[in-house]
Structure 1
Amino acid sequence: MIRIARLALAASVFAVGTAAATEPVALQCGRLFDARAGRMLDAHTVVVRDGRIERVESGRVDVPGARAVDLSGHSCSPGWTDLHVHLGSQSSPQSYSEGFRLDPVDYAFRSVGYARKTLMAGFTSVRDLGGEVSPHLRDAINQGLVVGPRIWAAGKSIATTGGHADPSNGVNDALSHLMGPPGPTEGVINSPEDARQAVRQRYKEGSDVIKITATGGVLSYARSGDAPQFTEDEIKAVVSTARDYGYKVAAHAHGEEGMRRAVAAGVDTIEHGTYMSDEVMALMKRNGTWYVPTIHAGRFVADKAKIDGYFPEVVRPKAERIGALIQDTAARAYRNGVKIAFGTDMGVGPHGDNAREFVYMVEAGIPAAVALQSATVRAAEVLGVDDQGVIEAGKRADIVAMPGNPVEDINAVLAVDFVMKDGAIHAAPGA
């Protein structure tokens, strides 16, 4: 079925914006966001050639032989990165039953549209933290077969038996007996030895990053949303094996103890972090651990929990209780000096709405410029790359633009109408 999913992705071809223009392009920006300094500059011209930024000049400059793009009424920013998405799915009241009715090919076709919406919202890169479709979607995008953001794909998340991301949760006894107990190949572990095998399996399948579910989760078909679900030794085995392959490790975590174990074991990012205590924050600061809040997902599930029938009854109280707390946790983490990077958990909420996370971050007391940095230069640090996240000579030509000034009014991020990825223009004002 995975082979069919690959064919589905290959069949979903978009003709526009799949290659960088061979002629140079001069973007005449009314304002330009300096991601390193965290400030908005006045008018600049960005010259792009062969997918890279050739030079950046102050003011509106005419470049002989270059195609001029008038963005004089716009603010230009490095393309944004969402560090937590799930492009293979999107929440709905049917999500739980669809897992029994749909094939990988169905999710593959859906992911094509989700990827395009994400790119058009201004997100030129994403980290997909869990989903078997995502490595194949990544490859299809890299081959120019479909339009979407650059993807760092985790593939199957690693869980413990009965934990968040155990694929057999909610399955009845007869079907569970037929399937057999999932193991490291399916991303379910119960020992350090299993943990090493599961990481190596993700390497075999072509993952770019490792994702573990260090605590219970909101949307899994299980009672606990915050209990620790790995021993510290198991997480250490994940991390040490991941390092052998050059992987970073992201840890889904809501509960305090599961977070503490994950941070102590050396994970790179904590996702969600709902019940993060001052002690955990201090440990994260000592270890240099990043926090990816995903406020959008928290608000989305808390809102949907109010609707009868949207979630199964085992999920509904978790969504109502945990989801509403994440924005406040992000506010406390920022005040405490924890390193924050941008992520939405989109796929829980609707793809293409990613930029609303900026608005929620600012509502939490995070300055607009800091929020923008979290999705540009800081996100590049999390990914471990130095060729994106800033508008500078030699970097990838990933550039987005919007009317207005998002440093002064963060709501401007919701109106992106220019998107360039690797020098290819995917959206432009009036197009």
Structure 2
Amino acid sequence: MNKTRVAAALAILTFTLSATAADQVVAIRAGKLVDVVGGKVLQDQTILVSGERITAVGPTASTTVPAGARVIDLSRETVLPGLIDVHVHLTGDPNLHGYRSLGVSDIRAAMYGAYAARRTLEAGFTTVRNVGASGFGDVALRDAINDGELPGPRMRVAGYAIGIQGGHCDNNLLPHDFHFTENGVADGPWAARAKVREMAKFGADTIKICASGGVLSKGDEAGAQQLTLEEMKAIVEEAHKLGRRVAAHAHGASSIRDAILAGVESVEHASLIDDEGIRLAREKGTYLVMDIYNDDFILQEGAKAGMLPESLEKERMVGQLQRDNFRKAFKAGDKMAFGTDAGVYPHGDNARQFFYMVKYGMTPMQALQAATINGADLLGWKDRVGSITPGKYADIVAVGGDPLADPAALTRVDFVMKGGAVIRSDARK
């Protein structure tokens, strides 16, 4: 047999073996299955997975498992959909805040992102929205994960966050001598439109804007509005024209109001939201993404991580108000999605926020829905992720405890599957 025929035979064999592996059915025996769509827990269920997708879900007693299927026994576990965090910064190192961040190159940050992506996935977060990264590091990370080169969650990414000169999304740590302006800066409606086009050109599938000042930025007030209503309307119109959704960083009441009126899909942080903002978010269907775990890490560990004294003072001013307003907005009927600002605190600790969401007004099921079906809806991926439903990706996690009795159980994930591939399996036998 000549070399050409040998190569052809090997190619056919390789394709056949790959197809067989891809087509193998996996049957997951779930002792308890959290049905986030129905808001209930089902007992003794079997999930059938073929390739990347879920093909069937039903009671174990009446579900036929095909001959030759691989069986994964999670009969002593609580099984739930892969979790979704819609506000992360995977390329952000939580130990390098403030002036320490100036020594980090875009390339180094992207490399750190590979580590953070794996940590996040192993913690049970199979989908994230990365709302801001320098050097389009999040675009590169998303693409490497999609191409199978790195382990990590599914990603929506924003590239650079868009904001005003000297604002929260600019870098104000360097003196005038350096003449440095962050790449996401845009002043005026047409400059803002051009910046949206630039983000889209280089791979962003989400647009992030900074409507107000921030806690961890230098020289601004968290509650002060920065982008104008006119600028935000231009950004949203341009983003929607290009098929992108918009997330608005906004702490202050006026910036929250104008961001909602401009048509953003979500308001991030929303710390100082007032009654008008709560009403508008409910009427417009705007999601609120309130990172209410962060306060603990910033106040307890922020100084050691290099955060500026002024940032710690700003957090003392807004942290508890944000938690109180979370309770108020949720009680009023505003839509909530789970977002934590991971990168401010260590990646992989995302699930610590569930405790605070329950403490400040949600039931454990509602907190899980915020991190599954609500997050999927906000991302425009409700047909792909967010529930254990036939046709969706087989993104599945399991915990040994009962997260509906103890939300802290979600910080101890035993099993993670993404797209039918087992990422980790420490489940009890």
Tell me, yes or no, whether TM beats 0.5: yes
1:66 matched residue in structure 2: 69
The answer to whether the aligner puts 1:75 opposite 2:78 as a matched pair is yes
Q: Match for 2:393 among 389, 392, 396? A: 396
Alpha carbons of 1:20 and 1:86: their partners in 2 closer, same or farther (altered >3 Å)? farther
Which residue of 144, 160, 167 corresponds with 1:140?
144
Question: What is the CA distance between 1:22 and its match in structure 2?
Answer: 4.1
1:21-40 paired onto structure 2 within 5 Å = 22-40=23-41
Secondary structure of the residue that 1:43 maps to in structure 2?
Answer: strand
State yes or no: 1:289 paired with 2:286: yes
RMSD, aligned α-carbons: 1.7
Q: Secondary structure at the match of 2:293?
A: helix
**Matching residue of 2:422:** 425
Aligned to 1:349: 345
Contact kept in structure 2, 1:223 and 1:315, CA below 8 Å: no
Q: Residue in 2 aligned with 1:49? A: 50
Worse-superposed segment, 222-231 or 46-55: 222-231
2:218 corresponds in structure 1 to 221
Change (3 A) 1:91 1:257: same
CA shift at 1:98, angstroms? 3.6
| 1:190 CA drift (Å) | 1.3
On the 8 A contact 2:99/2:173 being kept in 1, the answer is no
Q: What's 1:279 paired with?
A: 276
Give % identity: 41
SS of the aligned residue for 1:427 comes to: strand
Q: 2:203 aligns with which of 200, 203, 206?
A: 206
Give SS of 1:286's match.
Answer: helix
Q: Could you tell me which runs of 5 or more consecutive residues in structure 2 were left unpaired when the two chains were aligned.
A: 1-19
Q: Contact conserved, 2:53 with 2:394, CA < 8 A, in 1?
A: yes
Residue 426 of structure 1 aligns to a residue whose secondary structure is strand
Quote the residue 1:91 is aligned against.
94
Q: Which moved more, 1:54-63 or 1:380-389?
A: 54-63
For residues 319 and 59 of structure 1, the distance between their equivalents in structure 2, rounded to whole angstroms, comes to: 50
- The one-letter amino acid of 2:257's match is R
Say if 1:300 and 1:323, in contact at 8 Å, map to a contact too: no
2:371 aligned with 1:375: yes
Tell me the distance in 2 between the aligned counterparts of 1:99 and 1:402.
36
Equivalent position of 1:175 in the other structure: 178
Aligned position for 1:6: none
Structure 2 match to 1:101: 103
2:319 paired with 1:317:
no
For structure 1, the residue ranges without an aligned partner over 5 or more in a row are 1-18
Q: Distance in 1 between matches of 2:276 and 2:254?
A: 10
**Counterparts in 2 of 1:111-150, with a 5 A limit?**
111-131=113-133, 132-150=136-154
AA aligned opposite 1:66: A
Partner of 2:17: none
Q: Once the 2 structures are TM-superposed, how far is the Cα of residue 62 of structure 1 from its aligned partner? A: 6.3
1:189 alignment partner in structure 2: 186
In the TM superposition, what is the alpha-carbon distance from 1:225 to its structure 2 partner? 1.3
Query: Which of these residues, 163, 167, 188, is aligned with residue 159 of structure 1?
Result: 163
SS class of match (1:237): helix
2:402 maps to 405
Please tell me the residue identity of whatever aligns with 1:333: A
1:388: how far off? 1.2
User: Counterparts of 2:280 and 2:427 in 1: how far apart (Å)?
Assistant: 49
* Conservation of the 8 A alpha-carbon contact between 1:75 and 1:405: yes
Give the corresponding residue for 1:239: 236
SS in 2 for 1:37: coil
SS at match of 2:161: coil
Cα distance per residue 1:224-246 (max 9 Å; x no partner): 11100011010000000000111
Q: Distance in 1 between matches of 2:369 and 2:319?
A: 25
Deviates most, 361-370 or 327-336? 327-336
2:207–2:245 Cα contact (<8 Å) kept = yes
